[in-house]
Amino acid sequence: MSERKRLAIIGGGPAGYVGALRAVQLGAEVTLIEKKEVGGVCLNVGCIPTKTLTSIAHLFTLLKRTANWGIEAGSPNLNWTQVMRRKEQVVRRLVNGVKFLLKESKVTQLSGTASFLDEKTLLVNKTDGGTEKLEADLILICTGSVPIELKIPGADLDGVVDSTGALCFEEIPKSLLIVGGGYIGCEFASIFHSFGIEVIIVEMLPQILPGEDEEIASVLRRKWEKEGIKIYTDSKVSGIYSKDNQLKKVKISTPKGELEIESEKVLISVGRKAYTEGLNLSGIGVDQEKGNIKVDEFLKTNIEDIYSAGDCIGNYLLAHVASMEAEVAVENALGGTVSMDYTVVPRCIFTYPEIGGVGLTEKEALARGHKIKIGRFPFIANGRALAEDETEGMVKIIAEEKSDKILGCIIVGNRGTDLIAELALGMKKGMKLRDLIETIHAHPTLSEGVRESALKAEGRPLHIL
């Protein structure tokens, strides 16, 4: 019987803890090193707390419309203290759940930071003091990412926060200016706008949600501007200055000239970068590229028996990708030969309405030389959407003209982040428009809109002209 391999994992986020659990299933002896709480950024100060706030904001918005449905409940009031308490309750429950899984799986957990002494030895600086040398046969690096800092005057002022700070406001602000219109900035814009505060977005590129389908991004922009969110694209923040104890004065360069906008709080959300500080990667010769740990298709570094997964390798900074990378990495570390497949990666943006996408955008498909056909189906023509009074948005499906193979799909609308799973699975299996059309979709459901978009792409829609 072969001896159990000792695997050390640095970082307990969506990559690290999932990698640990999978490695135990494969028979490894696992030690997980995490400096804060298991679950990493995603569970503690990212995906989960923001989605808790998103859910509260969505319900708060719907409650304002109940009179139209025959429910006279009066005007809803926001208890910010209870909102923050609810957020913490959800996070704490999930963190404890992960801890329980690790404990029951016999994963040794060390609280602290790790650095390489050599290719097989880590020095762990424990959170409660002291150090420990840890020898391992295999090492998996999953140290995640941190927010990119914006080098402008005033970025360090009180009231200027990153995404973590925006989750911890002691009181809800009266106004919020967001520097960066990517998915994180837009999610916060959606949350705080739903809570009734003034929101301004400043994005240096020509559209909010850069890289997403232009048509879908414009749907969201039109809705938000109609509702009062101010959006400045092709614009840059040149400085942030204190006006008084309550307000910040933000200088912005726009295509129409210079502006000064006042806001109580400023959120800087201009992206994230790999976090590898203190690991001593260069000391043992681990290759890096633009700050990211360089790996091959099997998630192995240039050093034998050292693997890496998650945000620190810089491919897709998404929790679900990080988890899959970690599974692939430990399977390969423990004797497998599984290539990481990025051909079908769902992307989800939890704005209101939310956006789910997979595959190519229209622009990307054309840039790659595909001759395409597009089917669009608006949710206003969907029975379930009408019944729920959630008719914003549409399904947009992109297929290759000759073969009918589905190249991509983007959904903006209620539950778009759930609906996209059907397309992700289908595209993974090479689905064509005909396959989607010939699959019976339950009625009345939002999923009918997905089938209808395929019908439209084929030129035979049933529920729109």
The residue type found at 197 is I
Sheet containing strand 265-268, strands side by side: 160-161, 265-268, 175-179, 198-202, 230-232
Q: Which helix (H) or strand (E) holds 169?
A: none
Let me know if 273 is exposed, middle or buried by CB neighbors in 10 A (0-12, 13-18, 19+): middle
- Relative to beta strand 175-179, strand 198-202 is parallel
Q: What does the angle CA 447 – CA 453 – CA 459 come to, to the nearest 5 degrees?
A: 145
How many C-beta neighbours within 10 Å does residue 240 have?
Answer: 23
Residue with tokens 């995603």: 42
Length of the chain, in residues: 465
| Angle between helices 47-63 and 80-104 in degrees, nearest 10 | 140
Catalytic residues: 443
How many Å apart are CA 89 and CA 84, to the nearest integer?
Answer: 9
Strands 257-263 and 131-135: unpaired
Tokens for 47?
A: 């995906």
